[in-house]
Amino acid sequence: MIARGIEKIIEFLFPPACPVCGAPVSLHGELCADCFGCFEWIDSPKCSRCGYPMVFAPNGAAVCPACARDEFGLEWLRSACRYDEMSRSVMLSFKHGGRIKYARFMARAMIWALRDVPADCDIVMPVPLARPRLIHRTYNQATLLARPIAHAMNVPLDVDSVRRRHRPDMGHMTPRQRKENIRGVFTVARPDRVRGRKILLVDDVYTSGATLSELRRVLLRAGAKSVCGVTFCRVVRTV
Ligand SMILES: [Zn+2]
Ligand SMILES: [Zn+2]
C-alpha cells in the first residue's frame, strides 16, 4: 500500500520518459517510437516450438529445421526480439550497469511475445544466479523481468526452489563448452514445489540454450511436468 503510494508520488514528480533516450512518452516504462523502431521484434511467422523467426510458416504450426530434428531443449520458447547491437547494449546496461528501469519495457515485450502460447504455467521461475554473483551485482536481472510476467499471468514467482553453484563466465565458449560447463550447476532445493508443475523459465537472453536446457533437465528429474521459457532477446543463427 505504502509502496504504491510512493510510486504514485514519483510518477507525479517525474513525468513519463522513454527509459532509453529520455524523450517524453505517454506511459511510464514505455519506449518512444524512435527507440521502439530500433529493435528487431520477433513477430510471425516463427517456429511454433522455439520461436525462431521464419520467412514462411503455413497455418502457423510449422517448426524450424532444428526443432524438426528435435534438437531443441525446451517444451517451447518465446523471445521478444533478436539479439543485435540495440538489444545487446540495452541488456548490458540492464545487467551490469544498474539500469533496472529497463525491466518494465523488457517485461512488457516478453508478455507480448507470450501471446500465442498456452497460458497454463503454474510457476514463473527466473534463471537463478550463483550467490557470489548475486552479491556482487546486488540483483538478479532475470528476477526483475520474471516478477511482472508472473504478475501478468497471475501465478507465483519462484526464486528459491533451484540453487546455482558458481562457475566461471561462459562468455567466450563454444556451444559445446557451454554445455559441459553448465552441467551440474543447478540443484533443486525444493522438489515439493516443482513436482507436477508446468514451469516457465525467464532469462534476459537466449544464446546457445545450454543454461535453459540444463535447468529443464534437473527440473524434469525433480518431477516437473513441463518446462518452457521466455527471454527478452535471442541469438538468431542459421539452423
Ligand atoms: Zn527513446
Ligand atoms: Zn524451432
What is the full DSSP assignment across 25-92? -SSTTPPPHHHHTTS-B--SSB-TTT--B-S--GGG----HHHHTT---SS-EEEEEE-SHHHHHHHH
Report the separation in Å between the CA atom of 128 and the middle of ligand 1, taken as the mean of its atom positions: 30
CA distance 148 to 156: 11
Q: Where are the beta strands (DSSP E) in the chain?
A: 77-82, 123-126, 162-164, 186-188, 198-206, 226-234
**Distance from the alpha carbon of residue 34 to the mean position of ligand 1, in angstroms:** 6
Distance 201 CA to ligand 2 centre (A): 17
> Is 178 part of any domain?
yes
Higher pLDDT, 37 or 58: 37
Mean per-residue pLDDT for 119-132?
A: 93
CB-based contact 102:232 (threshold 8 Å): no
Interatomic CA distance for residues 148 and 106, integer angstroms = 10
pLDDT digits 0-9 by tens, 169-216: 656 778 788 888 888 999 999 999 999 999 999 999 999 899 999 999
Q: How far is the CA of 15 from the centre of ligand 1 (A)?
A: 14
Q: How confident is the model at residue 143 (pLDDT cuts 50, 70, 90)?
A: very high
Question: And the C-alpha cell for 179?
Answer: 554445455
Higher per-residue pLDDT: 135 or 124: 124
Q: Are residues 70 and 20 in the same domain?
A: no
Q: All 3 cell numbers of residue 31?
A: 519506449
Q: How many domains does the chain have?
A: 2
Shared-domain flag, residues 47 and 24 = no
Residues 139 and 196 in one domain: yes
CATH assignment of the domain containing 129: 3.40.50.2020
14 and 101 share one domain: no
Same domain, 110 and 219: yes
- Cα distance between residue 110 and residue 80, in whole Å: 5
Cβ pair 48, 61 in contact under 8 A: yes
All residues with CB under 5 Å from ion ligand 2? 47, 49-50, 52, 64, 67
136-140, 153-157, 209-213: least confidently modelled range: 136-140
Of the listed ligands, the closest to the CA of 17 is 1
Residues, Cβ < 5 Å to ion ligand 1: 18, 20-21, 23, 32, 35
Residues 112, 62, single domain; the answer is yes
Local confidence band at 97 (pLDDT 50, 70, 90 cut-offs): confident
Give the mean pLDDT of 107-118: 95
Calculate how far, in angstroms, residue 38's C-alpha sits from the geometric centre of ligand 1: 9
Q: Residue 239: inside a domain, yes or no?
A: no
Domain range holding 21? 1-38
Instruction: Clarify whether residues 24 and 78 are in a common domain.
Output: no
Q: Is residue 143, in this structure, part of any structural domain at all?
A: yes
- 147 alpha carbon – ligand 1 mean position (Å): 24
Per-residue model confidence as pLDDT tens digits over 210-220: 999 999 999 99
Smallest CA-to-CA distance from 10 within 2, 228, 18 is with 2
Residue 141 has pLDDT above 90, yes or no: yes
Peptide bond into 148 cis (omega under 30): no
pLDDT digits (tens, 9 = 90+) for 49-79: 999 998 876 665 688 988 989 888 899 999 9
Of residues 8 and 134, more confidence is placed in 134
Identify the pLDDT of residue 106.
96
Both 21 and 80 in one domain: the answer is no
Q: What average pLDDT does range 143-160 have in this prediction?
A: 96
Average pLDDT score, the chain: 90
- Decide if pLDDT at 12 tops 80: no
Measured in Å, residue 16 CA sits from the centre of ligand 1 at 11
In a domain, 17, yes or no: yes
- Determine, yes or no, domain membership for 193: yes
